Amino acid sequence: MGGNAIQNSVRLTPQRFKEIGAELLALLAPHFVRCAIPAPAPGKESHGDVDILVVRHPNCNFDPTTIGSKEVNVNTYLTSFEYKGHQIDLITVEEPFFDWQLFMLSFGYVGHLLGMVSKRLGISLSTDGVHVRRDYPGFVTDIRLSADPKLYCDFMGLDHQRWTLGFATVEEGFGWMSTSKFFTAHALKQLTAREKKRRRKRDMVQSFFKWLDNYVDTRPPTESVLEEALDFFGKREEWNAIEREANRREEFSQKFNGHVIQKMTGLNGKKLGDLMKHLKEEHGDALGVMSMDEMEAHVHDTLLSMNGDS
């Protein structure tokens, strides 16, 4: 991924990329559960490597030297090796996320750009699917909505079948993205610092924003699709359960915290910490549903017990 892991590797022309890719898929197929090559960025004049997604068998011990490789570098999920002078990257993925990662890595930075579109809607794209998250004080919730590319496209109002046909130019890919019912140029032009950095470094991302300058919005921007996404992907019940847990924790922290117990007892530092530890061990979640009078009584009972033990 990037073409720099193998020394003196030779870049591939588009034709050579196709030939080497087809040759390797035939050689690798017997060794893996699944293997596929993400479609390259349209119109790219040369390629630094060939990326191949693979799902390994439980006891897979494939060695690239058995197919003639002279150099191999292994780094957790990524195995880079030389093949006929070119760099090949084997990217190991879990089978449930194979189709999703193939979707995200195909056509250059289309997956990254879709991530930018989705982020502005309150959903995020990761290596294992579509997510929604919310931060609470001391508590973060994250739900994977789906790892099905077609389902994601259906939600976004994108034609997944059109994606499978591929794009002859990057502009075709940009045009496909713009058919999403949530796509607006105005929202995409509000860049984070990280996105600005990525824009400067990646030609395809630069090309997208040049293309965007001539795009005329036909729909108003959408602030968030959280509620719609929860219903569409069937995650409403799971989200509500997490919300209830978050509310329970918030209520608990408001009733039981260092400030409250310090006011009741006048304790500070280690003595306060020890008392709170004892209270949690003795009463647990029940502390969150006690009245303040009940809690104060338990606090003083526990304190007396601790002093008696000492």
Instruction: Dump pLDDT digits (tens) for 158-215.
Output: 999 999 999 999 999 999 999 999 999 888 887 777 776 666 667 888 899 899 988 9
Cα Rg, the chain, nearest whole Å: 27
Residue 99 or residue 309, greater confidence: 99
Whole-number Cα distances in Å, 109 to 24, 176, 273: 24, 13, 51
| DSSP at 12 | B
CATH T-level assignment (fold) for domain 14-92: Beta Polymerase; domain 2 (3.30.460)
Please give the pLDDT value at position 201.
67
Report pLDDT for 200.
Answer: 67
The mean per-residue pLDDT over the stretch 145-150 comes to: 98
Nearest-5° Cα angle at 95, 94 to 98: 90
Q: Is the dihedral of CA 285, 287, 288, 290 positive or negative?
A: positive
Query: Which CA distances in Å does 9 have to 22, 28, 153, 217, 289?
Result: 19, 20, 37, 44, 66
Pairwise CA distance, residues 246 & 265, whole Å: 28
CA dihedral in degrees (155, 198, 108, 85; nearest 10)? -150
pTM, two decimal places = 0.82
Which of 46-50, 92-96, 287-291 has the weakest average pLDDT?
287-291
pLDDT for position 295: 72
Query: Which of 235-240's residues contact partners 24+ apart within 8 Å by CB, and which partners?
Result: 235/132, 235/143, 235/145, 238/143, 239/132, 239/141, 239/143
Report d(CA 181, CA 112) in Å as an integer.
Answer: 18
Q: How confident is residue 310, by pLDDT bands cut at 50, 70 and 90?
A: low
244 and 252 Cβ atoms separated by less than 8 Å? no
- Indicate the average pLDDT of the chain: 88
| Closest C-alpha among 154, 302, 128, 131 to residue 226 | 131
Phi, psi of 249 (to 5 degrees): -65, -40
Express as a percent the part of the chain with pLDDT over 70: 95
Average pLDDT of span 214-243:
90
Query: What is the pLDDT, as a whole number, of residue 199?
Result: 63
pLDDT at 80 over 90: yes
CA distance 278 to 52: 55
Q: Are 49 and 1 in contact (CB under 8 A)?
A: yes
What is the residue type of 310?
Answer: S
Most confident stretch, 31-40, 138-147, 251-260: 31-40
Three-state DSSP at 158 gives coil
Interval 35-50 mean pLDDT:
94
- pLDDT tens readout for residues 290-309: 777 777 787 788 777 777 65
